[in-house]
Each structure stands twice: as structure tokens, then as C-alpha cells.
Structure 1
Amino acid sequence: MIHRTHPLTGRRSRARARRASRILLALAAMAALLSVDVPDALAEPPLGVTAQALPDAETGRVGALFAGGLDGGHFCTAAVVRSDGGDVIATAAHCLDRPDTTVFAPGYRDGKAPYGVWKLTGVYVAPGWRDGQAPDADIAFATVVPADGGRTGAVEELVGGFPVAAEQPADAMVSVIGYPRGLEAPLRCANTTALFSDTQRRIDCPDLSGGTSGSPWLVDGALAGVLGGYEGGGTVPEVSYSAVMGDQAVELYREASVTD
């Protein structure tokens, strides 16, 4: 027997099929969007949360300072900044007490220095630090060259450099990247900052313990300070400080970065 479908019933069936098809397409599109967006959302920790910094262009410019060599243990953090010679790093002045034995390993991770080890050739600190270790002068710059004879060129040619930006607003959003002594990879934390005083800035970020002194404070990818200053950068790992990048620090930077 041949079953015949009423025309109206057939149209309703086709309409239901089209609606079901559209719903399935919408669900598939939503699943595709979620599969793309979720990893991006998880790439950066929330504000005020400290997490391991994944390898990228920024972390490649940040490195650990070691006493003598990679076997000497890292004790501070520094970052490559832009300069005429491509050879300047920024850190805290209190990290450069022994420049003759201090070396820099940009991008250091898990015992390896992917961009080599660099020794200091010149140190630029303000008179206020040199004469009395004034907290407001706890920003310094240094020039570096390869520590071994097998590497040539400038460090900035390998990893790039952060521009230097002074005169940031009191509530600037800052990202800090640094190496605690007990870890073999850098940590990253971002948060809104506040002025602790006219010359000191503070940030609330946990776990930035010893070894993170000298860590760059980045505002829109530019160096606006380094971890240090008041209390040597802080006496508890939840709150850190940086001297405000003022005229004196900018002049130091120019002295270190401009070649004749």
C-alpha cells in the first residue's frame, strides 16, 4: 500500500527539520567559539594572581642575575631595554653590589640559558644610591657583553628590548615578571598600582619573594620601574615596591644607552 503525505503535513515536517538543522549549526558554532576562546582566556592569570610566566617575547627579554655563572645561583632579576648599542639591561641598584662577578641570563628557564650568559661591562647608578643607598634611587642600568667568546653581537639583537617610559599615572596597570630564588622559571603578575609616596609605587601581587628584586614593571610593554626601592622592594611577598621612574632614572638610562 502506498502512503500519501498531506501537503500541509509535509511542509510542517520540512519546517521542523530546517529549525532542527539551524539549532544544530548554532550549537556547533558555539562549541567552535568556546574551543577557541577558552585557552585565550586562560592564557593570562586574573589581576592580582601570580602564576608561572610562559615563554614569549616578553619573558625572553627578562632574565636572572647569577653570581659567577649558572651554578652560582640566581639572586635578582633584570631585563633588556632598548639602547643604541643594544647592550643595556635594567635592574635594581641593590642587585649590582658585585658587578665583577654578576652575569645575566635572559630567558633563563629550567637550568638553561637559551640566549647565552652575559657579563657586565659597566654599571650606572645614581649618586643617591652610591652615596647612601637611598630607596628612591634603587633603579640601575648596566651594559653587557657575551660571557663566552663563542657568541657575538648584542643581546638586544637576540631578544629585543623594552622601551623606557617615565611619568606613569598613579593607578597604572603594571605587569611584573621575575625569578624567585627557589624557582627555575619566571613568575608573572599584573595588577593596578598605587602611589605609596610621591617617589614610590606599590603593587599587590603574592609570591614575589627574594630573587625578584630588579624585576621589570611593565606598562603597556614599556619599562616604568623595577622591583626595589622601599624596604628593598618589600619585606613580605604579597606587596612589592618600585621607585618611581623620575628624571634622575631617565638620565641614567640615557647615559647607559646612548653611544657617542
Structure 2
Amino acid sequence: MRRSRRTTAGALLAAGTLLATAAATAPAGAAPAPGPAAGPAASPPLAASAAAQQRVRDYWTPERMRSATPLDLPAPRAGTAAAPRHQGATATVAPTAPTAPAPELRSFPQPGGPWTGGGAIVKTSGRVFFTFNGRNASCSGDAVTSANGSTVLTAGHCVKYQGSWHTNWTFVPGYHDGQTPYGTWTASKTLTTPQWEASEEMNYDVGAAVVGTLDGKRLTDVVGGQGVQFNGAYNEDMYAFGFPAASPYDGTKLIHCSGRSSKDFLLTQDHGLGCNMTGGSSGGPWFASFDEAGGTGLQASVNSFGYTFLPNRMFGPYFGDEVKALYERAAGT
């Protein structure tokens, strides 16, 4: 994970990075956050045809997946972060997941470790692979309940970064030890919040993808879908999942953290959680409500970034009205 430092309001702060390892420097003098935007931004069509989707699946060989490197991004900039709007009542979308035997419950909190409980989460969560500026990269993501049965939530920088929409975008649910037990699902469209699209504002580092069918089936027909929560509360017990690839992890296993979350008091309005996940976990789901026995919950954030001076703590954006609009657009595509 790359670390950097900058001076903010006369104090020397160690700038946080996204949960990543490979270097990718943001352009200097980035624009300040824009005013209210019209709606979620969407990529140009990606692999829209069946033939195009198959070409992307063929591209992602096991060797390319193993060698893909996660992205890196600077921390939020002081004075540019607009707080997410919390205007409506709390809204939820119920999960749709396959049933599973109840596992032995784990200790709470969990600062970071392999998920051994089974349940729906081992199918709905997965690794994300894409090409960014000519190199292969990776993140994490999660299949969620949706009208189209084909929606994946991830981080904004996992669909678009430095003005470029990623290509060859693929979701691999249930990835483990180099295996793709539920196939590889190619995006026909990726989307992000207007705030991330315009100025890569960390409060809105959320992305979505609409994936094509595979063997005539939709994504959530095969793996199920987690629920989603918007306009929820801060300072709740939360669970986070992802596929970190930087030491001490290697990207081959689903890792989880759990504990009482808190609101970022520095440069964002994000949720914070004690967690030692590293590069590659960006975009993995956070749950404000999670049933360990069945592995299902209500997703309320994604892995986004960390501050260097707060080791073993990561942050994820608040799911407010803007993220709700993003989800609705993706789910209705």
C-alpha cells in the first residue's frame, strides 16, 4: 500500500490511500467538489454483445487474474469534501440468498481474518478484474438484490479513475485459491456517483456494474443477492468483507472484519472500522446488519481508503440519497 504525506491547515497529516498496493498518482490540482449533480454517471457500453462478453471472459485467464494489481489513490483533500445528503427515511432492499447450514458463530469484533462461516456471503462476494491505463488491476465487489438480477456494487475507483472508465470489467463471485466456481461475469455497463465522476470526491467513492447473463442465467439466479440499506445510522456494529492481496494476504481468500463503526472526524463523512485488510479489498461490502448463520445482510458501504497515521483502520462511504440513486439506476438497467 503506497503512503504519502501532505500539509493540511498547518498540520502535517499522513494522507490515506485506498486499500491498494500498486502506484497510480492522481493529477495535481484536482478540481474542487461540484455542486448538486443531475444523476449517476454511466460508462459507454462495454461488452454489450454475447461475443464481446466471451472475449472478455477469455481474456481473464487464471494467470492474468493472479498477476492483476490493485489501484492506489490519494486521501481526501481538505476543503473539498461535501457531506452526503441524508434526506429521506432509512430505506432497505431485502437480500435474496440461498440457504445454508448455520455455522459456528465467531468472536466479535474481528480485526481481520479469513471467513470460515460459509453462507450466502461466500457466493455473493467476489473479486473484480479490469484493465486500467493498459494494465490489469483488481478490486472486490458484491452481488446485490436488484430488478435486473445483474447488479454488482463496488467502489467508484474500481469502475473509473483519473478520467478513464475501466475496460475488460469482470466480476468473479466466490473466488478462492484461483478458482472461479460460479463463473466470470462481464459488465455491459459500469456506473458511479456524479460526485465521483466529476472530481473523485471520497465521500462518494461508490460504483456499480450491470453484468451480462452467463449460460442464459442472471447473476443473482446463480449466487443470490445481498440486501442494501440507504440513509442508515452511524456508529453501528458492522461487518466488512473483501479480497485483500497485499501482505499479509494474497488475494486468494475472503477476509472479514467486524466491530463497532464510527464516523470519520477528519476529511470525510465516511464510516470507519477497525480492520487490517490491505490492497485488493477496495469495493468489498460493509453490512450494517449481518446474519452470521446465513451469511446475509444489508449492505451499507464499501471498502474505500485508510489514513497512514491510523493503522489497521479503514473507511467506507455513507450510503445516502446519491448512492440510492446510483443503485436504482443500475438495478433498473
- Conserved 8 A contact 1:233-1:242: no
1-structure distance, mates of 2:195, 2:280? 23
User: Residue type of the partner of 2:269?
Assistant: T
Instruction: Report if the CA contact (8 A) 2:129-2:171 is conserved.
Output: yes
Give, in angstroms, the shift of residue 168 of structure 1: 2.2
Q: Contact conserved, 1:227 with 1:233, CA < 8 A, in 2?
A: no
1:50-129 matches, within 5 Å, as 50-54=112-116, 55-67=118-130, 75-97=138-160, 98-129=165-196
**Cross-structure match for 1:246:** 320
Q: Deviations over 1:56-100 (max 9, x none)?
A: 2112100001236xxx97621000011111000000000113432
Q: Which has the higher helix share?
A: 1
Match of 1:256 in 2: 330
Residues 216 and 233 of structure 1: is their aligned pair in 2 closer, same or farther, counting only changes over 3 Å? Answer: farther
- Quote the Cα distance in structure 2 between the aligned partners of 1:96 and 1:237: 26
Structure 1 consecutive aligned stretches of length 4 or more whose deviation exceeds 6 Å: none
1:233 Cα offset (Å):
4.5
Gaps of 5+ in 2: 1-102, 290-296
Larger Rg: 1
CA-atom RMSD in angstroms: 2.0
Match of 2:228 among 144, 164, 167: 164
Matches within 5 A, 1:1-260: 40=104, 43-54=105-116, 55-67=118-130, 75-97=138-160, 98-146=165-213, 151-181=215-245, 182-197=250-265, 199-206=269-276, 208-220=277-289, 221-228=297-304, 232-235=305-308, 238-259=312-333
In the alignment, what sits opposite 2:46? none
Runs of 5+ unmatched residues, structure 1: 1-38
Q: 1:135 and 1:173 mapped to 2: Cα distance? A: 22
CA distance in 2, matches of 1:132, 1:200: 17
Give the total of aligned pairs: 209
Identity %: 25
Classify the secondary structure of the residue corresponding to 2:227. Answer: coil
The one-letter amino acid paired with 1:199 is Q
In structure 2, distance between residues paired with 1:45 and 1:102:
35
SS at match of 1:56: coil
Shift of 1:151: 1.8
**Deviation string for 1:147-197 (max 9, x for gaps)?**
xxx622111011111111012222111111100122301101111100114
Give how far 1:203 is off.
0.4
TM-score by length of 1: 0.75
CA contact (8 A) 1:93 1:137 kept: yes
Which structure is richer in relative contact order (CA contacts within 8 A, separation 6 or more)? 2
Considering fraction of residues, name the structure with more strand: 2
Q: How far off is 1:136 after superposition?
A: 1.0
* CA distance in structure 2 between the aligned counterparts of 1:129 and 1:247, rounded to whole angstroms: 14
CA–CA separation in structure 1 for the residues paired with 2:167 and 2:216: 20
Contact in 2 for aligned 1:213/1:233 (Cα 8 Å): no
The alpha-carbon deviation at position 237 of structure 1 amounts to 5.7
Aligned residue for 2:47? none
